[in-house]
Structures are given as C-alpha cells and as structure tokens.
C-alpha cells in the first residue's frame, strides 16, 4: 500500500494538469483497484469500511448533490459531481481505512522530496526562461504569459496551483528538518525546506503568500510565540512596502504595489465574483445554479463582462455557495467542521509532531482555497483529499503507537 501512495504522490507532483485530464479515467481505475484490494482484505465488510465513523463525509456528498436536479444544465452538473465523487471518495476511504498499514511518515517524506524536485525544476525554468515540459510534452495555455512575467510554474501549469501544492508541503518539510538528528540527512532536509519556501516566494502568488502568512500565524498561536507572530506580520508589510518601491519594476511591482493592488481589488474578476455569487444566491438560495454551470450563467448575473478564463468564482467557498447553494455549502462546512474538531481533540491529547505538521499544511490550503477555485485543478484537489484522509484516519485511530 505504501508503494501505491508513493506513486500517487509522484503523480500529483509531476503530472501537469492536462496530463491529469488526459489520463483521468486510468487514474480512477487505479484508485478503485486499490480500493477493491483493500476491501477484499476486510472480507468485503462494506458497512464497516464505508460507513463507520464516516457519516459526515456521506452527509457532505449527499447535500452536495441536491443541486443536480435543479441545474439549468443537468448534464454538466452530473459530470462535475461524478468526477468529484469518483476521485475524492476512493482517496478518502483508502487512506482512512489503511492509515495503520501505511507508513505515513515515509509517504509524507516522499511528498517533501517530490516538492523539492518540483522546486528545482521551477528554478531551472526561471533561470533558463523555458520549461521543457511545456515545450515538448504538455500543452499549457498560461505558459507564454508566466514565462514572460517571471512567475514560477514548474510542473503545475499555473503559479497559483504550484503555490497551493507547495504551501501544504512547507510544514511537513519543516517537521522533517527539525526532527532529524543525523547531521547529513538534517542538512538534506534543510535544503528541501529552503527550496520549497523559495519556490513559494517565486510564484509571486498573492493568495499563496497570504495563505502562508496566515498558516504560520496559526502555528505561532498554537505554540504561543506571540513575539514572533508580531515580527512576521511587520516583516510581511515591510516586504510589501519594498516591492511597492521605485527600486522594483515590472510585473512584481504591478502585482504588489499599493496603487495597483487597490485598483485590482476595485475592478478585478475576483471582486466581481462576490457580486455574481450574491446575485446567483438571490435567485437560487438553497440549491445554487448547479455544479459546472457558473460560466454558462455568468453573463446573466454579472454586470461586467470578463474573459472566458476568469468567468469563475475563483474561490472554493464561493463555488460551493454559487453552484451548490446553501445546502451544498452547509454539507461542506459540516464535513470540514467535524474534521477540524477531531483534529483539535487529537492535538490536545497527543504531541504536536507530524500530525500537527499535516494539520498546518491542510490549514494553509484552507486559507489558500479562498483565493482561487482549487477544486478545478486535479493535483491540488487530489492532495486536499489525501491530507483530509490522513487527518481523519489518524484522529479516528485509537492505536496511538501506529498513528502519525
């Protein structure tokens, strides 16, 4: 099972989104094959495997499905929902049920090594102003734009996607560095951690930077390091002030300069998405407009027209509200709230070791999900459910000696 998890981690890390889409069917077949093997080892005890302690996950799936019957394009809603369930469910059930058999520490270390390698690919991309993956193997709509802008994409097609992947890897990478006492390996782990953090910076993704800042703030609050908390916020604002200064030019100053930021907040598609979501909820408060229907109905509910690529909620939370309505959003909050409650209860009784690192990585992604629709992109979506399953499976496990 560990080998399967490591292959999954490598697939998430190195396959660009177009490759995920092209081989999505094979990926689901592989997931269900592993699920069948795992279930057969339990003598096909489906009730114990799928139902026991997973009621909140099922509540989420059920409430998230109501919108399908009322969507203007039911086929688009069904297609989105089926893809969602056929990916999220096997990942979640596999990891939660096999958590005691999988060496999660090795799996997470493999993820950090992959994240370090992804960062190295990104550094070569920045240095050479080219990326062999998109030149030869995979099409990338955004490639020319971000190569010119000097924003790192690496294997993830878009800087925002790369940022959300890396932000989840930062706390585990830091844990492996701090917990390792063998000098040589400790230096390797420090290098991996430094590579990941540097790559996060070079995405120049505002949402990722803010998510990282909030994630570190939560970590410091848990540790009661209030002085360091004040320091990092001051350092962050000084960094933004420097990037806004005349010493910085080009795209970086445009993205972080205060006059440009104010203009962006006033007129951008992200700001408009809140008004569009509000208008959609006024007409369809309980079931939303239907999954996958946002772009189709964008022109009806938006007073300002934007290019097709940004006719999106650009937030997982807005997506749930606009497309699944209050019922679907409630299912999301019920599942997430229960998961966080279990995590906090576990942390009160156990050392804040690797579990805490996974929890912090997941927290970083929850913050980052507010800045773009992460569920539209395969790799971070898969990693989201992997982390959620690791947290849920460990928190539900009573065998502390085998838990992470």
Whole-angstrom CA distances from 370 to 37, 97, 109, 395 are 36, 30, 27, 25
Alpha carbon 181 to its chain's center: 30
Whole-angstrom CA distances from 227 to 38, 222, 231, 239 are 48, 13, 6, 18
Beta-carbon count within 10 A of 312 CB: 21
Q: How far apart are CA 209 and CA 163, in angstroms?
A: 8
Q: What is the pLDDT of residue 367?
A: 97
Q: What is the pLDDT of residue 404?
A: 45
263: left (phi over 0), alpha (psi -120 to 50) or beta: alpha
Domain limits at 18?
2-396
Q: What is the pLDDT of residue 400?
A: 43
- Please check whether residue 401 lies inside any domain of the structure: no
- Please check whether residue 112 lies inside any domain of the structure: yes
- Please check whether residue 150 lies inside any domain of the structure: yes
Is 207 in contact with 370 (CB distance < 8 Å)? yes
- Please check whether residue 348 lies inside any domain of the structure: yes
Is 387 in contact with 356 (CB distance < 8 Å)? no
Q: How far apart are CA 73 and CA 292, in angstroms?
A: 8
CA dihedral 147, 148, 152, 156 (to 10 degrees): -40
- Which residues of the chain register pLDDT less than 50? 399-404
DSSP state of 72: S
Q: How far apart are CA 241 and CA 235, in angstroms?
A: 10
Q: What is the pLDDT of residue 398?
A: 52
336: left (phi over 0), alpha (psi -120 to 50) or beta: alpha
- Please check whether residue 402 lies inside any domain of the structure: no
Number of domains in the chain: 1
Is 34 in contact with 3 (CB distance < 8 Å)? no
pLDDT digit string, tens, across residues 267-299: 788 899 999 999 999 999 999 999 999 999 999
- Please check whether residue 404 lies inside any domain of the structure: no
- Please check whether residue 174 lies inside any domain of the structure: yes
- Please check whether residue 309 lies inside any domain of the structure: yes
Q: What is the pLDDT of residue 264?
A: 75
């Amino acid at each position: 099972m560990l080998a399967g998890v490591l292959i999954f981690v490598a697939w998430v890390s190195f396959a660009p989104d177009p490759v995920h889409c092209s081989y999505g069917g094979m990926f689901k077949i592989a997931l269900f094959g592993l699920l069948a093997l795992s279930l057969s080892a339990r003598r096909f005890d489906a009730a114990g495997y799928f139902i026991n302690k997973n009621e909140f996950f099922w509540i989420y799936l059920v409430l998230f499905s109501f919108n399908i019957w009322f969507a203007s394009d039911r086929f688009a809603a069904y297609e989105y929902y089926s893809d969602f369930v056929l990916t999220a469910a096997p990942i979640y059930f596999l990891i939660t049920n096999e958590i005691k058999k999988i060496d999660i520490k090795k799996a997470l270390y493999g993820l950090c090594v992959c994240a370090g390698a992804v960062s190295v690919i990104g550094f070569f991309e920045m240095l050479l102003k080219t990326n062999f993956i998109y030149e030869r193997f995979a099409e990338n709509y955004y490639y020319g734009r971000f190569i010119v802008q000097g924003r790192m994409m690496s294997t993830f097609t878009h800087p925002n996607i790369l940022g959300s992947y890396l932000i989840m890897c930062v706390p585990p990478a830091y844990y492996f560095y701090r917990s390792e006492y063998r000098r040589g390996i400790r230096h390797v782990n420090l290098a991996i951690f430094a590579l990941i953090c540097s790559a996060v910076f070079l995405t120049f993704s505002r949402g990722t930077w803010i998510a990282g800042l909030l994630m570190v703030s939560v970590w410091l609050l848990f540790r009661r390091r209030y002085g360091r908390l004040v320091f990092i916020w001051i350092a962050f604002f000084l960094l933004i002030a420097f990037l806004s200064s005349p010493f910085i030019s080009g795209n970086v100053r445009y993205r972080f300069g205060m006059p440009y930021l104010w203009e962006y907040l006033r007129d951008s598609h992200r700001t408009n998405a809140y008004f569009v979501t509000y208008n959609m909820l006024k007409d369809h408060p309980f079931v939303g407009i239907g999954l996958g229907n946002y772009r189709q109905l964008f022109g009806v509910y938006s007073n300002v027209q934007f290019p097709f690529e940004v006719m999106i909620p650009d937030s997982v939370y807005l997506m749930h509200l606009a497309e699944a309505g209050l019922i679907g959003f409630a299912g999301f909050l019920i599942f997430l709230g229960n998961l966080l409650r279990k995590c906090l209860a576990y942390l009160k009784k156990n050392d804040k070791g690797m579990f805490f690192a996974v929890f912090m990585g997941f927290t970083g992604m929850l913050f980052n999900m507010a800045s773009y629709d992460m569920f539209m992109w395969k790799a971070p979506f898969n990693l989201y459910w992997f982390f959620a399953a690791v947290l849920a499976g460990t928190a539900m496990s009573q065998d502390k000696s085998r838990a992470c």
